[in-house]
Amino acid sequence: MAQHQVRIIGGAWKRTPLPVLDALGLRPTPDRVRETVFNWINHQLPGEWDTATVLDLFAGSGALGFEAASRGAASVTMIDNHGPAVRQLEANRDKLKADNITILRADALALARDMAARGQRFDVIFLDPPYQQDLLAKALPLCPALLKEGGLVYAEAETALSLEGDDAPEWLAGWDIVRSDKAGMVYFHLLKLQAGAT
């Protein structure tokens, strides 16, 4: 049973276990990675958590979004297009009585474009999409239009992202990798827009 739950590691709901759907491709971000990432974000966040708006674009288990909400984020918007996963997210939100969390069932890329067009902006965007579908390459270019000034993007991938050399992918243009690390088979990165990039 233990592999089908995540544990919140900080904030108001610290140590609270949350059930996770056993679904193909669902990979909750491991505790150790979340701890590292939230330490990174704490050092980079322009304001405090209680004013932060967060977008979890491929929410899956919701591990990242619930962690942000536990730490007092003003609002967390979780998006997933898998019905059973969305129902599990809603059940976990209700269990926590987390009124700072909004859960939407939608195609993440289409909704991201729609949010940008409506002028919605976020301090932190989590990108942890299913692997092998090129979703990071499609989602990251949508983020500049969704970020507040000084905002951060957390990106998880099956390979390391690199801005070096001729093989740096075009979709990484305009971004700086603030921090990056690897845990097991997971490569994780904290990204910030370069000055002047939009």
Span 52-80, average pLDDT: 96
- pLDDT at residue 25, rounded to an integer: 63
The architecture that CATH gives domain 2-193 is 3-Layer(aba) Sandwich (3.40)
What's the per-residue H, E or C state across the chain?
CHHHEEECCCCCCCCCEEECCCCCCCCCCCHHHHHHHHHHHHHHCCCCHHHCEEEECCCCCCHHHHHHHHCCCCEEEEEECCHHHHHHHHHHHHHHCCCCEEEEECCHHHHHHHHHHCCCCEEEEEECCCCCCCHHHHHHHHHHHCEEEEEEEEEEECCCCCCCCCCCCHHHCCEEEEEEEEECCEEEEEEEECCCCC
Given a cut of 50, whether residue 70 has pLDDT beyond it is yes
Given a cut of 50, whether residue 54 has pLDDT beyond it is yes
Span 1-22, average pLDDT: 84
Given a cut of 50, whether residue 2 has pLDDT beyond it is no
115-141 per-position pLDDT tens digit: 999 999 999 999 999 888 899 999 999
Given a cut of 60, whether residue 1 has pLDDT beyond it is no
Span 80-103, average pLDDT: 95
